[in-house]
Amino acid sequence: MRLRQLALRLLFLAVTVPGICFFSFAIMEMAPGSPEEMLIMQAGIGRDPTAVAELRAKLGLDRPWWERFGLWLAGAARGDLGRSVTTGESVGRMVAKRLPATLELTFTAWLLALAGALPMGALAALRRGGWTDGLLRALALTQVSLPGFVLGLGLLWVFGFWLGWVPVLGGGVLRGLWLPALCLAAAMTGVYSRMVRERFLEVLGQDYILLARAKGLGPWAVLRRHVLKNALIPLTTLWGMSLGYLLGGAVVIEVIFSWPGVGVLAVRAIADRDYPVIQAYVLLVALCFTLINLAVDLGYLFLDPRVRRRGLLRNG
Amino acid sequence: MGLMLLAALAGAWLAPHDPLAMNLGQGFQGPSWSHLLGTDALGRCLLSRLLAGARYSLGLSAAVVAATMSLGAGVGSLAGMAGGKVDMLLARLIDLFLAVPPLVMVLGMIGGLGPSLGNLLLALMLSYWAPYARLARSMVIAGREKEFVEASRIAGSKGLALFRRCLLPQLLPALLVLASLEAGMMVAINSGLSFLGIGVQPPTPEWGVMLYDARLALSSHPWALVPPAAALCMAVLSFNLLGEGLRDALQVRKVSRF
């Protein structure tokens, strides 16, 4: 029953989201030394006990943690995520300014990965055993093995400094985006092209393909009508989920290419112990990821009629 | 295929596992190019740093993988063996951890605790254990039903002994395959974090840190980039090949990184 699966999924969401919120909140709790001491020291006032006590009361930090969690949660729901400890800006605004850039990068990389993996995998499967296959598989293996940031550094040097083709710092959508997106997409392309290849091989070996050919359908028609759908639909869940993983991986790429996104913000915040920013980053990214997964699962429910009957098996 | 990957692995491992034979950890030499791999911006011998760094890049990753594997497999097996309410609870917990991008968790934890080696280890361990748990659990559940397990149970072994004798041997190959695949990823993540300044801290030689140093002088002296980059790639590649070779050799089927 589709409804039941939907309900289960939403229930799961009801557990994950608070979990994420709590985790984000807990980040500040984990800090060695109490938060108010930390704030005071960062303000440069020195550890004056009266000041600490005042600040404590003012920030409501002397109340039990569940109250504080509630307050924080209420603030977050309103969009008020506190102020950056280093710059004093509203964290909400800081993140909002940079989020689009990160989303741009991640989304582009995601699409690129698909655009690359599909033809690679399909071609390798169709030419199985030949040198095209071998070459493409080797390429996939290299893509998987080269850590994105190593690739990034290398390509940045080649294209940025040596050839001078690419602006080295940021650079807007058209000129500055394609190299970082490519690097981010690289590993994913490697993984996916192999999966596509496997799926294609599986499907191509099925009887109904033989039947279609026997009926007289030309190879392209067979491809379009039977192979593509059957091979690819099971992969969509993974492809969708990978968007979330890319969100995380974007951090390093952003730093290398000085891409003005949310990841760079987070890294700096960690170095500066800017807790509100870190919390906001974790909260936002984790939530995005969860939402994306939800969307993907739901989409899959609609795409594959078999799933509706069998039920979603998330645990493999 | 098997031979090739053994060679690849040995190649990547034999060289770095010479740290004892080496005498310069990180000497501050003058910036001359009379060193085998050159020197970095501060004049430290790159080769020495590379070899010493292997201990951190590879060793730390291996330690993390071992720890996560144990933790994950432990939880998963417990869930599978116990069944009932315990299983349900643990299974939800596993799902929960699988639902969040682990890198974000690591960033959050290090953000809260502060960057240090110990915290790094802890954060990585707590974020990456879920895949092992899921694998262990599903294998235990599947294996429980098999006939030879029933036979053992009738013969009298119970609980822990049962698990150890029957299920664990089944479990190990799959876990090892997953571990070696994840190890490659872990090396990359480890170095990536250090590169960002969040993992191992400079001046400790670690390949990610070396890349960070190299980045600062990228336009004028690009060479410093090459040794750590090459080492990293080789290491990840070796682990991947190892994992895949193991998978083919041991005929494990259900293991993939997702």
Q: Which chain B residue has the Cα nearest residue A264?
A: B196
Q: Which chain A residue has the Cα nearest residue B91?
A: A315
Contact A266 B107 (CB under 8 A): yes
pLDDT at B18 over 50: no
Residue B192 host element (H or E): helix B168-196
Nearest Cα of chain B lies from the Cα of A314 at a distance, in angstroms, of 9
Does A32 contact chain B (CB < 8 Å)? yes
Give pLDDT tens digits for B139-186. Answer: 777 777 766 666 666 666 566 666 666 667 777 777 777 887 788 788
Q: Is B26 within the bounds of a domain?
A: no
pLDDT at A33 over 60: no
Contact B222 A157 (CB under 8 A): yes
Kindly provide the ipTM of the predicted complex, given to two decimals: 0.70
Query: Which residues in B lie closer than 8 A to residue A157 (C-beta atoms)?
Result: 218, 222, 225
Place of tokens 């091979």: A231
Instruction: Report the alpha-carbon angle B156-B162-B168, nearest 5.
Output: 155
Nearest Cα of chain A lies from the Cα of B233 at a distance, in angstroms, of 5
pLDDT at A311 over 50: no
pLDDT at B220 over 70: no
Segment B176-200 shows an average pLDDT of: 78
Contact A27 B115 (CB under 8 A): no
Q: Which chain A residue has the Cα nearest residue B230?
A: A150
pLDDT for residue A251? 80
Amino acid at B25: G
Query: Which residues in A lie closer than 8 A to residue B195 (C-beta atoms)?
Result: 149, 252, 255
Which residue in A12, A23, A149 has the most chain B C-beta atoms within 10 A of its own C-beta, making it the best mutation to test that interface?
Answer: A149
| 3-state DSSP of chain A | CHHHHHHHHHHHHHHHHHHHHHHHHHHHHHCCCCHHHHHHHHHCCCCCHHHHHHHHHHCCCCCCHHHHHHHHHHHHHHCCCCECCCCCCEHHHHHHHHHHHHHHHHHHHHHHHHHHHHHHHHHHHHCCCCHHHHHHHHHHHHHHHCCHHHHHHHHHHHHHHHCCCCCCCCCCHHHHHHHHHHHHHHHHHHHHHHHHHHHHHHHHCCHHHHHHHHHCCCHHHHHHHHHHHHHHHHHHHHHHHHHHHHHHHHHHHHHHHCCCCHHHHHHHHHHHCCHHHHHHHHHHHHHHHHHHHHHHHHHHHHHCHHHHHHCCCCCC
**For chain A, percent of residues with pLDDT exceeding 90:** 0
Q: Which domain holds residue B180?
A: 38-249
Measured between CB atoms, which of B114, B218, B236 is closest to A32? B114
Give pLDDT tens digits for A274-284. Answer: 777 777 787 77
- Report the alpha-carbon distance of residue B111 to residue A130 in Å, rounded: 50
Q: Is B241 within the bounds of a domain?
A: yes
Q: Is B33 within the bounds of a domain?
A: no
Contact B188 A266 (CB under 8 A): no
Contact B198 A144 (CB under 8 A): no
Question: pTM of the prediction?
Answer: 0.73
Task: Provide the domain count of chain B.
Answer: 1
Nearest Cα of chain A lies from the Cα of B97 at a distance, in angstroms, of 9
Q: Is B27 within the bounds of a domain?
A: no
Residue boundaries of the structural domains of chain A:
20-77, 93-315
Q: Is B4 within the bounds of a domain?
A: no
Give pLDDT tens digits for B88-145. Answer: 777 777 777 777 777 777 777 777 676 677 777 888 888 888 888 888 777 777 777 7
CATH number at residue B114: 1.10.3720.10
Give pLDDT tens digits for B25-61. Answer: 444 443 444 455 555 555 556 666 666 666 667 777 7
Chain A stretch 245-274, residues whose beta carbon is closer than 8 A to a beta carbon of chain B: 245, 247-249, 251-252, 255-256, 266-267, 269-271, 273
Query: Which residues in B lie closer than 8 A to residue A154 (C-beta atoms)?
Result: 225, 229
Query: Which residues in A lie closer than 8 A to residue B229 (C-beta atoms)?
Result: 150, 153-154
pLDDT for residue B30? 38
- Report the alpha-carbon distance of residue B234 to residue B184 in Å, rounded: 10
Nearest Cα of chain B lies from the Cα of A274 at a distance, in angstroms, of 8
Give pLDDT tens digits for A240-254. Answer: 777 777 777 788 788
List the beta bridge partners of residue A90.
Answer: A83
Contact B115 A256 (CB under 8 A): no
State the CB neighbour count (10 A cutoff) for residue B222.
Answer: 16
Give pLDDT tens digits for A119-174. Answer: 887 777 777 777 777 777 778 777 777 777 777 777 776 766 655 555 555 555 55
Q: Provide the pLDDT confidence category of residue A315 given band limits of 50, 70 and 90.
A: very low
Q: Is B56 within the bounds of a domain?
A: yes
Give pLDDT tens digits for B236-253. Answer: 777 777 777 777 766 655
Q: Is B13 within the bounds of a domain?
A: no
Give pLDDT tens digits for A59-88. Answer: 555 666 666 677 777 777 766 666 665 666
Does A208 contact chain B (CB < 8 Å)? no
- Report the alpha-carbon distance of residue B218 to residue A160 in Å, rounded: 10
Chain A stretch 128-187, residues whose beta carbon is closer than 8 A to a beta carbon of chain B: 141-142, 144-150, 153-154, 156-157, 161
Q: Provide the pLDDT confidence category of residue B23 given band limits of 50, 70 and 90.
A: very low
Query: Which residues in B lie closer than 8 A to residue A248 (C-beta atoms)?
Result: 101-104, 107
pLDDT at B258 over 50: no
pLDDT at A113 over 70: yes
pLDDT at A292 over 60: yes
Question: Is CATH 3.40.50.300 correct for A93-315?
Answer: no
Does A34 contact chain B (CB < 8 Å)? no
Contact A289 B225 (CB under 8 A): no
Q: Is B257 within the bounds of a domain?
A: no
pLDDT at A106 over 80: yes
Measured between CB atoms, which of A29, A145, A273 is closest to B237? A145
**For chain A, percent of residues with pLDDT exceeding 70:** 61
Give pLDDT tens digits for B201-217. Answer: 666 667 777 777 777 66
Q: Provide the pLDDT confidence category of residue A302 given band limits of 50, 70 and 90.
A: low
